[in-house]
Every structure is written in C-alpha cells, then in structure tokens.
Amino acid sequence: MAFKSAQVFGPWVRRIAFLGGALALTGCSIPGPDSSEADMAASLPRHDLALAAGYSLSYVTAGDPAGRLAIFVHGTPGDAHAWGDYLMSVPKGYLYVAIDRPGFGHSGPDGAVVSLAEQGQAIAALIRANGGKPAVLIGHSLGGPIIAQAAVDSPELVAALVMVAGSLDPAQENVPLIQYVGDTWPVSALLPRWLRNTNREIIALEPQLAALAPRLAAIHVPVTIVHGTKDDLVPFENVAFMKAHLTGTRAMDVTVIDGQNHFLPWNSKRQVDAAIAKAFAMMEAAP
C-alpha cells in the first residue's frame, strides 16, 4: 500500500508551490495518507540519530538488523513512509532503512536544509551509526542527487546507487517565478513546513547540481537507473545526462518505463525492486 497522496499533490508542488498559501488562507487542506497507510507507517520501528549539524535525523527500519543495508531517500516533499511498501516486504537477509530527510517529517531542523552536501553527510552519519559497512542507497527525485553527493563525499560508505526518477541534470531545472514569490515573507509564513521547505529546496537546487556534475565521474560503484518516459516533473532527459556523466561507474543498468510518470516508487514497484536487486548483484559481482 503506497503513499498515493504524493501522486495527488506532487505535480502541484513542482509547478505551483505558492498554492499552499492560498490553501492555508481558504482553510483547504492537501490530502494525507489514508488510515490504512497511517497504520502501516505506525507499525515500523522509528529511531532518531543526533547529527553533528545540531539536529536529529529520524528514520524507520525493517528487516534483519544484521542484514545488508539499503537506505531509502525520498524526494521533495515526503518522508520515510513514502517507502512503506518496501519496508513491509523486505527480502530475507536485508535491512531496509528509510529516512525523514532533514527538514521533513520527524527530522530537524524546522527550516529547509538546501545543501546537498549536508543532506549527504546525514546519510553518511546514519551508515556509520549502523556499523559503517557500505550501503546501497536508493533515491527518488531530489533523493537522486543527494545519494550521488553522498557517494562523492563518502565513497567508502556507499556500495551502489539506485536512481529512481533522479533529478541530476541542472539544465532541466526550471523554477517558475511563482515559487520565488512563495519564498518571500509573508507568503512563506502561510505555508506548512513541508511546502515551505520544498519550495526552498527547489529554488536552491540548480547551482548545486551544476557543482555536482563534474564530480559524478568520481563515482565508481554500480548504478541502476529507473525512469519513466512521461515524467513531467523530472524530465526523461536526466537519463542521458546520467549516462554521460557517470562515466566512472563499474557497472550501470538502465530501466526505461514507457509512458510512466514521476511516481515510480508507488506505481512501478516491481521495476524499482528489480533495480535494487540488480544493484546488490552488481555490487557483489564487481571486482
């Protein structure tokens, strides 16, 4: 059972984040998870890790505590429960961990953490806290550049990457003027935390992707990519960009899903599961 509400508000966030202010003013609300999804999420063990940055990272776990580690990183907005389906069906011998990224869910701080490097450092700290053995990282949307940043900055902690509709090409970032308006006071004060922080992350993303791009060739671990051809939030052109820049990887596998949109973790779980399995297999086969 997936966090299907993300499919409802996701396109609004990317294009008209300013709408949140209007919703707040009119008393409307953006749909949340249904009761069954909330019950599923509540059943997962939750943990908090104090970070050197001065706030805590919240995450949920499922599977074998001694198993091979896979860390799931949501996009913007979102939280750990976006990966609920995956944590409820963990393959034997694996430990699945899904985080509330800094600035979202139960993690601190209250404001947005727009730095890809700081987000990557939070993942590195989590891996160290779980024994320090290299982990497979799965990132959706903005989670894609975050796991790439973690692999660049902490290569000893990353075993493989799974890019699910990953947003890595700076040329594909087009921030509408209305989002800059939504980031100004008093409009920003009217937005809920998740929407305010989403807005700021999107505005700050392009220059950070440009800085990350020349470093992508330093990623040597296996990479699997899953992307839909009809993704109108993170265009399919990102796949060509990743192929052109991830030149140092020991192995790459690309799954193209014809006609599919941006919400692959929920509507294409079979293909995402297969990409995760391929990442582990390529990791084990790599010299």
Q: What is the CATH number of the domain that holds 102?
A: 3.40.50.1820
Distance of alpha carbon 146 from the chain centroid: 7
Q: What is the four-CA torsion angle of 209, 210, 214, 217, rounded to 10 degrees?
A: 20
236 Cβ contact list (under 8 Å, min separation 6)? 227, 228, 229, 230, 256
Q: Identify the domain containing residue 47 by its residue range.
A: 5-285
The pLDDT tens digits for 90-116 are 999 999 999 999 999 999 999 999 999
Give the per-residue pLDDT at 24: 33
- Count of structural domains within the chain: 1
The pLDDT tens digits for 185-202 are 998 899 999 999 999 999
pTM reported for the whole predicted model: 0.88
Share of the chain above pLDDT 70, in %: 85
CA 199-201-206 angle, to 5 degrees, is: 115
The pLDDT tens digits for 38-49 are 466 668 899 999
The pLDDT tens digits for 142-185 are 999 999 999 999 999 999 999 999 999 999 998 888 888 889 99
Query: 182 near 199, Cβ under 8 Å?
Result: yes
The separation between the first and the last C-alpha atoms of the chain, rounded to the nearest angstrom, is 38
Amino acid at 196: R
The pLDDT tens digits for 68-93 are 999 999 999 999 999 999 999 999 99
Burial of 71 (0-12, 13-18, 19+ CB in 10 A): buried
The band of 20, judged by pLDDT with boundaries at 50, 70 and 90, is very low
The band of 218, judged by pLDDT with boundaries at 50, 70 and 90, is very high
Give the per-residue pLDDT at 30: 33
Cα 210 to Cα 58: distance, rounded to the nearest angstrom: 29
User: Is a pLDDT exceeding 80 seen at residue 284?
Assistant: yes
Burial of 11 (0-12, 13-18, 19+ CB in 10 A): middle
Q: Token digits for 237?
A: 């052109």
Give the per-residue pLDDT at 39: 62
Closest CA to 88 of 44, 31, 145: 44
14 Cβ contact list (under 8 Å, min separation 6)? 202, 233
Give the per-residue pLDDT at 191: 93
